[in-house]
Amino acid sequence: MTAILSASELMSEMAGSRPPVLLDIRWQLGGPDQRPAYEAGHLPGAVYVDLDRELAGPPGSGGRHPLPDPEAFGAVMRRAGVRSDVPVVVYDGGQGWAAARAWWLLGWTGHPDVRVLDGGLAAWTAAGGAVTADTPTPVEGDFKPNPGARGLLDADAAASLARTGLLLDARAGERYRGEVEPIDPVGGHIPGAVSAPTTENVGPDGLFLPAETLRARFARMGATGDTEVGVYCGSGVSGAHEVLALEVAGIGSGLYAGSWSHWSSDPARPVATGPNP
């Protein structure tokens, strides 16, 4: 099973005998709320899920987007119609970060068949896909979270992996280098981490680069078949997109969900700056 699917593939599945549950995860860092955009037009049958309130716990000691309580997350997914025996396809406005967060959470909590629409709503409409303003009322799902099916790193595990394996920093290069830090208390990166902006995993059309291209990119950073790989970002959102890109490339990885917002909240943790790990 692939982690992503194209708009044309989704069209075929939606017309088939076993259509997937569709979740709209449109989100923008710092706002505004994307529910009005969803209500103005979305994929037929798609249910809106709010990243800040439903795919994350309250911001605080765990970071800006800590993982949600699994039971609360499960209740959200059931209300959205998610069933353990029905495929799920998630999408967002096109950047892919928010959809990847939902993909990662569903996979981490044990859903066996969840994929991301490559290119999101933009790719869907470009392919001639229909949108609707009709808001569905899904039948209650039965999904019950069982966390642990994906690799999850805490701060200590991330620091260790930066020394013994490969820890990728999915943020923009200038944040990694510590030249700017628009959100968190301090700029820079976890010592030993390698800069790997997730924006470079997609082409100008917003679609993921081919799997072989991604494999070559990550190989240049040190991701070989024998290397344990971890990822972090600012708060566990764009990092999920990098984990997704790695999976497209056939490379397993763990996510430091607290990411830089968690790491930098403790002044005792070391910080590196500049272009080198």
What distances in angstroms separate CA 167 from CA 80, 194, 235, one per listed residue?
34, 6, 15
Active-site residue, 233 included: yes
Which candidate in 158, 159, 166, 233 is catalytic? 233
Tokens at 80, concatenated:
């959205």
Non-local (6+) Cβ contacts of 43 within 8 A are: 22, 24, 91, 121, 124, 129, 130, 131, 132
The beta strands (E) that lie in the chain are given as 4-5, 21-24, 47-48, 88-91, 114-117, 151-153, 166-169, 194-195, 229-232, 254-256
Longest Cα–Cα distance of the chain, Å, equals: 56
27 SS3 class: coil
Q: What phi, psi does 224 have (nearest 5°)?
A: -115, 175
What distances in angstroms separate CA 224 from CA 184, 209, 215, 244, 247, one per listed residue?
32, 19, 9, 17, 13
Tokens at 39, concatenated:
């209500």
DSSP code string of 68-95: PPHHHHHHHHHHTT--TTS-EEEE-SSS
Non-local (6+) Cβ contacts of 226 within 8 A are: none
Q: How many distinct helices (H) and strands (E) make up the chain?
A: 11, 10
Among all residues, which ones are annotated catalytic? 233
